[in-house]
Amino acid sequence: MIRIDHFALAATTLDVGVDYVRNITGLTVPFGGVHQGVGTHNCLMATGDDSYLEIIANDPNQPDPVTPRAFDLDNPDVVAKTVAGPHIQNVILRTDDAQRDVKLAREAGVDLGELINSARGDVHWILVLREDRTLALDGTAPPLIEWPEGPHISSQMADEGLILTKLTIKAPQADALKALFKAIDVQDSRLHVEHGDQKHITATYRTPDGRTVTLG
């Protein structure tokens, strides 16, 4: 069974992303760490039910990586969108068997990519990425992540009581995305796929003071 793990909120800098989230939620997302060698760094906050929010930006202290940055962040259209303002670039789905689910996706006609061993400091995980770091289904298919056994990584993150209640992916490829989710057994009542003229991802939260707010 596959569920929401987190999403990547792309911003030109971490400060820009943190300000964006603070203005909407009233909460400050703390610094997470550096993705050494791949040109990005992040800020992280737990959002309930083994999920978290990630703000991701290019790391000015690293040279441009040899391979493109993950999640299609180097795509000129994505760069232009990020310059215009922070946005949710993609959802990342958690699996307990990435190899199995990559195979199931291929059998359904979707190439999600290959298993990549990834790390941030002493934290390690497996991420499914395509060689050119683009996202399948014209940029709409979420990458898969597999964590080591044990408590979810979000248990180590700041938890201010921000709770993810709904995550919506709108895209012209909605039907193909729904078919993929069925093939790989995505089961998460918070995740919704709807048809839209262009890709647009929104995340709805309940704040600690009881408000309902939306990022994206």
Question: Model confidence over 138-173: pLDDT tens digits?
Answer: 999 999 999 998 899 999 999 999 999 999 999 999
What three-state secondary structure class fits 215?
A: strand
Question: Taking 90 as the threshold, does the pLDDT of residue 123 lie above it?
Answer: no
- Nearest Cα to Cα of residue 188 among 6, 10, 8, 55: 6
Beta strands (DSSP E) in the chain are 3-10, 31-35, 40-46, 52-58, 87-94, 114-120, 123-129, 144-146, 163-171, 191-195, 200-206, 212-215
- The pLDDT, as a whole number, for residue 122 is 83
Average pLDDT, the chain: 96
The 8-class DSSP code of residue 70 comes to: G
DSSP calls for 161-204: S-EEEEEEEEETTHHHHHHHHHHHTB--TTEEEEE-SS-EEEEE
Radius of gyration of the chain, Cα coordinates, nearest whole angstrom: 16
Whole-number Å distance between alpha carbons of 120 and 36 = 7
- Residue for token pair 């989710």: 181
Structural domain spans, the chain: 3-91+148-215
Predicted TM-score (pTM) of this structure? 0.94
> pLDDT per residue over 57-104, tens digit each?
999 999 999 999 999 999 999 999 999 999 999 999 999 999 999 999
